[in-house]
Amino acid sequence: MNAKLFATIALGLVTSLLAGCAGGHDPAKAAAEHSAAVAQIASKKSQKGALLLVRIVDGNLMGDQYCSGHIRLRRMDNGKPDKNTPFEDIYSADRWLLPNEKKPKDMQATFLYRVADATSYARSFRPIAPGRYAITYADCQYGISQFSNGVKIEAGGDHNFLFSYVSPLGGASTITIGAGQIVDAGYIRLLGRRSNPIVVASGASAAEREVMKEVLPEVYTSITFTQFTP
């Protein structure tokens, strides 16, 4: 098989895949999944009284990167994290647009773009009890493959291993969650050393809000858009 023929076949396969993704959309199935996602969000909010969504991002020479991981939150008591109350582990959102990404024209092309749908947003909003919190630990990783160990970032000492300690991360590491709120806390970046980390926060991008408004119109008006603060 010569290179020209191989390229033609490969292009045909890609075209078929794109057409299948665009044309294979089942409206009835999509409506059912949407309704299930809205119901799941309401159910999750009732578990602890509020919901929180956060996105962890890192930057390198290639630009911004999705960093899969979680943050540990502890309630603030007299200006300090309370060691004696249960912590809240909040995992980074399932799918989302990077801060500088634009909303894709084809909202169904999720294998090319990490654009969220109602189902992924339902997974990404995490139950949390109302209160004021500080980030006391965070970790995330990306770029891991069979050829690379990727990048792993850790910040703070409030982990489940030896030599742990509870102290708020520097920078924008606190947030207040109100009763009944559905909170979108935007993006956080972890800078500095693990022993002296700094959180840089920003709100959800306009493109990300557009996506959320389109795929979750019933919930969108109830969402509180904010960000972590010092």
What is the DSSP secondary-structure string of 45-62?
A: HHHHSEEEEEEEEEEETT
Q: Which residues does residue 151 pair with via DSSP β-bridges, in sequence order?
A: 142
On the 0-12 / 13-18 / 19+ scale of CB atoms within 10 A, 173 is buried
How many distinct helices (H) and strands (E) make up the chain? 5, 13
- pLDDT at position 16: 38
Task: Establish if 154 belongs to a structural domain.
Answer: yes
| pLDDT tier, 193 (very low <50, low <70, confident <90, very high otherwise) | confident
From the list 163, 159, 152, the residue with the least C-alpha distance to 135 is 159
Q: For residue 148, give the DSSP letter.
A: B
- pLDDT at position 208: 96
pLDDT over threshold 50, residue 6: no
Task: Establish if 230 belongs to a structural domain.
Answer: no
pTM: 0.84
105 vs 66, higher pLDDT: 66
Task: Round the average pLDDT of the chain to a whole number and report it.
Answer: 87
The answer to whether the Cα torsion of 72, 181, 173, 64 is positive or negative is positive
- pLDDT at position 30: 78
**Mean pLDDT, range 26-49, rounded to an integer:** 91
Percent of the chain with pLDDT over 90: 68
**Mean pLDDT, range 63-76, rounded to an integer:** 96
Task: Establish if 169 belongs to a structural domain.
Answer: yes
- pLDDT at position 108: 61
pLDDT over threshold 90, residue 88: yes
Based on the structure, what is the number of domains in the chain? 1
> Could you list the residue range(s) of the whole structural domain that residue 175 is in?
3-225
Task: Tell me the per-residue pLDDT of 104-123, one tens digit each, with 9 for 90 and over.
Answer: 887 664 555 688 999 999 99
pLDDT-wise least confident of 172-176, 184-188, 192-196: 192-196
From the list 230, 60, 51, the residue with the least C-alpha distance to 140 is 60
- pLDDT at position 112: 54
- pLDDT at position 25: 66
Task: Tell me the per-residue pLDDT of 136-184, one tens digit each, with 9 for 90 and over.
Answer: 999 999 988 777 888 999 999 998 877 889 999 999 999 999 999 999 9
27 vs 220, higher pLDDT: 220
pLDDT over threshold 60, residue 15: no
- pLDDT at position 27: 83
Q: How far apart are CA 82 and CA 90, in angstroms?
A: 17
